[in-house]
Amino acid sequence: ERVDASGLLVFPGFIDPHVHSRDPGQTAKEDFAHSTLAALCSGVTTLLEMPNAVPPISDRATFEERAAAHERTASVDFGLWGQAFGASNLDDLPGLLDAGAVAIKLFWGYALDKRTKKLVYNTGDAAPDDIIAPPDAGDVLRVFEVIGARGGLLAAHCEDREIVLGGERAIGGEIRTYQDLLDGRPALAEIAAVSRAAEFSRVTGCRFHVVHTSTARALEIVRAARADGIPITAEACPHYLLLSDADHERYGSGMKVFPPIRGADDQEALWAAIADGTVASVGSDHAPHTLEELEGSLATRPAGVHGVETMVPLMLNEMARGRLAPERVAAVLAEQTARLYSIDHRKGRIAPGLDADLTLVDPHRERRIVAGELHTKHKASVYDGWTVRGTAVASLLRGEVVMRDGEPVAQRRGRLVRTSAAEAADAAVSVA
């Protein structure tokens, strides 16, 4: 199949590095077939899957099992994150990195409920034997040491649990208003965790990535640390870039996400951080729930926004509006992301047998985001009804056309991508 690219912009295939496909374990919410198809239809050619399915990817055997299962349903290429719990799976982290996990995720502040195998923030009255406790600072430091020694990338959901739940001023009460949501997960919880992470990164040399950054101050800490030579970066997500607390009136509980979407100043700081490289990469944090769950109020609705199919159109719209140069779009949605997660060996070279993942964009074509037309399992979006300009009209995956005009033209050909370090090790083994 040929594509006439006249008048189009040619981008490296876009990468979404932050997707929770809930597969296996919570496939009533989403599954890998749907999330990767939705990604494909939007112009994404590589998706990096978060490790907290049920069970989570916390050792090498689970990694390989999950990779094999996902290769049967993937519409785009994919990498897998590994999960660190702290002390309890410290010895499994080198194996995850050797297998080619793109990064290791620490849900800092969360415990694992061993009975449901789900992450929980508030352990309530669970007996100590029922949970893997949230890691203390010493555990977290050891995670930095182990991953740092291997040259791996550690990323974390950055929230200081003690600030949220501990001490006399415990904040985590019932959420009835948007202000309760903001108070429940205060900016200080993110700021405190990010400052600690920067110092841990400094002493261990471990590369660290702050996912879904929500505060201006955390970005300042990352920026200053980088100026000091610390290998730390931040991620931005479309909902923090495009929405602020003032939008709650309009979108209601559709804006319930952790960390919460904060003020206009925080939003502006994220754009500035994209411009100066403090934000290395943009990811959707696609965190789906069922339509029934999503209909709940702030009190009952689980946190998380759908976004795997809207990240690229929303960012292209910002390009069309002049807020983001095409080079920056390529950087935060592909090049820098590929380098950060060590999958740049696939993106840097185009030659026979190597990759040609490309996405062609019509910078002038307008479309309306219609939730009901999305390809995810549940068709929900806080951006329903938004008109966006700049549309991915075709994608090539390893040189073959796989998407035209927002629909798949070939299916089920996604493959696992291991990090360059793991592939280099593989190559060395096969040569020897």
The site for ligand DOR (CB under 6 A) is made up of 20, 157, 257-258, 287, 302-304
Pattern of binders to Zn ion over 285-324, x per CB under 5 A? x---------------------------------------
59 CB-side CA count, 13 A: 6
Minimum CB–partner distance for residue 287 and ligand DOR (Å): 4
Report which of 247, 333, 320, 301 is spatially closest to residue 16, judged by C-alpha positions: 333
Which of ligand DOR, Zn ion, none binds 178 (CB below 5-8 Å, type-dependent)?
none
- 26 Cβ partners below 8 Å, 6+ apart? 53, 54
Minimum CB–partner distance for residue 59 and ligand DOR (Å): 21
For residues 50 and 402, which CB has a smaller minimum distance to Zn ion in the complex? 50
Residue 29 in the binding site for Zn ion (CB under 5 A): no
For residues 287 and 394, which CB has a smaller minimum distance to Zn ion in the complex? 287
Which of Zn ion, ligand DOR, none binds 304 (CB below 5-8 Å, type-dependent)?
ligand DOR
> How many residues are present in the chain?
432
Residue 105 in the binding site for Zn ion (CB under 5 A): no
- Residue linked to tokens 């993110």: 190
Dist CA 170 CA 162 (whole Å)? 8
For residues 301 and 328, which CB has a smaller minimum distance to ligand DOR in the complex? 301
For residues 48 and 361, which CB has a smaller minimum distance to Zn ion in the complex? 48
Residue facing Zn ion at closest CB distance = 157
Pattern of binders to Zn ion over 258-287, x per CB under 5 A? ---------------------------x--
Q: Regarding beta strands 14-19 and 279-282, do their DSSP bridges make them parallel or antiparallel, or are they unpaired? A: unpaired
Minimum CB–partner distance for residue 53 and Zn ion (Å): 12
Residue 365 burial (10 A CB sphere; 0-12, 13-18, 19+):
middle
For residues 5 and 188, which CB has a smaller minimum distance to ligand DOR in the complex? 188
Which of ligand DOR, Zn ion, none binds 94 (CB below 5-8 Å, type-dependent)?
none
For residues 253 and 419, which CB has a smaller minimum distance to ligand DOR in the complex? 253
Answer whether 57's CB lies under 8 Å from 87's CB.
no
**Helix H segments across 298-348?**
311-320, 326-330, 336-340, 344-347
Minimum CB–partner distance for residue 111 and ligand DOR (Å): 14
Minimum CB–partner distance for residue 159 and Zn ion (Å): 8
For residues 20 and 161, which CB has a smaller minimum distance to ligand DOR in the complex? 20
Number of Cβ atoms within 10 Å of the Cβ of 330 = 18
For residues 21 and 342, which CB has a smaller minimum distance to ligand DOR in the complex? 21
Q: Which two tokens stand for residue 351?
A: 């030659």
Q: Select from 60, 105, 157, 377 the one that contacts Zn ion (CB under 5 A).
A: 157
Q: Rounded to a whole number, what is the largest CA-CA distance in the chain?
A: 65
Minimum CB–partner distance for residue 426 and Zn ion (Å): 29
Answer whether 305's CB lies under 8 Å from 254's CB.
yes
Intra-chain end-to-end CA distance of the chain, in Å: 39
Residue 252, sorted as left (phi over 0), alpha (psi -120 to 50) or beta, turns out to be left
Residue 30 in the binding site for Zn ion (CB under 5 A): no
Which of Zn ion, ligand DOR, none binds 303 (CB below 5-8 Å, type-dependent)?
ligand DOR
For residues 272 and 299, which CB has a smaller minimum distance to ligand DOR in the complex? 299
Residue 241, sorted as left (phi over 0), alpha (psi -120 to 50) or beta, turns out to be alpha
Q: Which two tokens stand for residue 286?
A: 């696609």
Q: Where do contacts with Zn ion occur on this chain (CB under 5 A)? A: 157, 285
